[in-house]
Amino acid sequence: MSGAPAGRPSALAVSAPRAGGDFVDCSRNEFLFPHPVLAAGLSPRLRADQICGYRTESALLGGLAGHLGLDPDLLRLYNGAEHALHDAFAGVARMPDATLLMPTPSWEYYGVLAAQAGVRTRTYRYRVMGNEYALDLDALMGDIVRTPRPVVLLASPSNPLGSEVANPVHRQIAEELARRGGYLITDQTYDGYSAGRPRPLATRLGDLPNCLVVRSLSKYYGIPALRVGFTAADPAVHRAFRMHGRYLGFNAFAESFALECLGLHPAFADTAAEIVELRETLSRRLAAFDGLTVYASEANFILVRVRERGYAQWLLQRGIMVRAFPSGPLDDCVRITIPPEPVVARILEATEEFFATGPGSGGQ
């Protein structure tokens, strides 16, 4: 949008209507459902001593370790996943002869973070396979073989594609990288919305000894403004990336709120299950329109390819903002954050009008 900070990807560059309180922003993958912590009145209140002194020990670190079934020594807290990724990329930049292999299409900000860190990069591709954007594994394995000291960034699930990399594929990539002195960085910011039964993070780390997992509490627990992220890895991997503890401590309010979220995890799991159900419903209903292609997603959003121009603008005029892509391989796509059921119904109604009487009708 106009006025966005330099380096930040823009959404649809138009003004959004907000009159009447009916506007819904489905462009940013934010938490659009009632928040369990706020609904329960559990927003933390801090004492003066919790605010006026540095927090050199983290209660959240222990809470996360218990929740994930991990030793606290395997975790590092960060000011959001963005901060963790920046430090990871900076670690790659300090590795002699290392090259970071990054996916495309992907989150544009990966490139910004890599440039800030001064890391050497190459890209590998996802391509359309059936009804999903999938990792071209053969091509990636070839890139790994041809790169002197490869470090691979995987996004699973991918933003904006929604596709997930299966655990056996993770292991295959990690094993090949280990043979070549490389590492695997897995961005799991959108973890938790799989239609299947996810494996515990502790089990995954046991399979991937040279893997650095990056996660966030922003999406699943709906707290992006509090900037809570973390990494999980063997201590030797953290040392290889030079990712250490935070000297001046931690954000007391963010930690307290995050702990309340972990305490209400069953309520968030119920919301995630509702999002998955609504995602499958919206995907199925949109795929029934002749002019739309909906790609399979394991995230809290879907990617939709639109045959006719003007779909994002059409939705915006009806109070629903979705993420449009002004250029590149997704320039005919939109990404839709999964909203509550009444908004899903509005999207479907607006889509039907788009193809019946709007720009998608072909002038009929």
CA separation (Å) from 343 to 190, 195, 264?
A: 21, 21, 25
Which among 325, 340, 346 has a CA at the least distance from the CA of 27? 325
Return the exposure string of 145-159: e unless at least 16 CB atoms fall within 10 Å of the residue's CB, then b. Answer: eebebbbbbbbbbbb
Between CA 155 and CA 123 the distance in angstroms is 13
Is residue 158 within 8 A of residue 295, CB to CB? The reply is no
Mean pLDDT of 29-36: 96
Does position 362 have pLDDT exceeding 70, yes or no? no
* Model confidence, pTM: 0.90
DSSP states of 235-246 as a string? HHHHHHTT----
Identify the CATH number of the domain defined by range 46-263.
3.40.640.10
- Over 50: is that where the pLDDT of 90 sits? yes
pLDDT in tens, 43-68: 888 777 777 777 777 889 999 999 99
Domain with CATH 3.90.1150.10 in the chain: 19-37+266-356
> Does residue 21 register a pLDDT over 70?
no
Q: Where in the chain is the domain with CATH 3.40.640.10?
A: 46-263
Phi–psi pair at 251, nearest 5 degrees = -75, 110
Give the per-residue pLDDT at 42: 85
Looking at residue 59, its pLDDT comes to 87
Closest-CA residue to 107 (of 82, 72, 138): 82
- 224: alpha, beta or left? (left if phi > 0; alpha if psi -120 to 50): alpha
Question: Do the beta carbons of residue 163 and residue 294 sit within 8 Å?
Answer: no
Ranking 34-38, 56-60, 215-219, 340-344 by mean pLDDT, the lowest is 56-60
Residue 9 clears pLDDT 50, i.e. is over it: no
Give the chain's mean pLDDT. Answer: 89
CA–CA gap between residue 299 and residue 161 (Å, rounded):
9
Q: How many residues does the chain have?
A: 364
Hey, which residues does 184 pair with through a beta bridge? 152, 211
Superfamily of domain 19-37+266-356: Aspartate Aminotransferase, domain 1 (3.90.1150.10)
Tens-digit pLDDT profile for residues 96-110: 999 999 999 999 999
- Note the pLDDT of residue 247: 56
228 or 361, higher pLDDT: 228
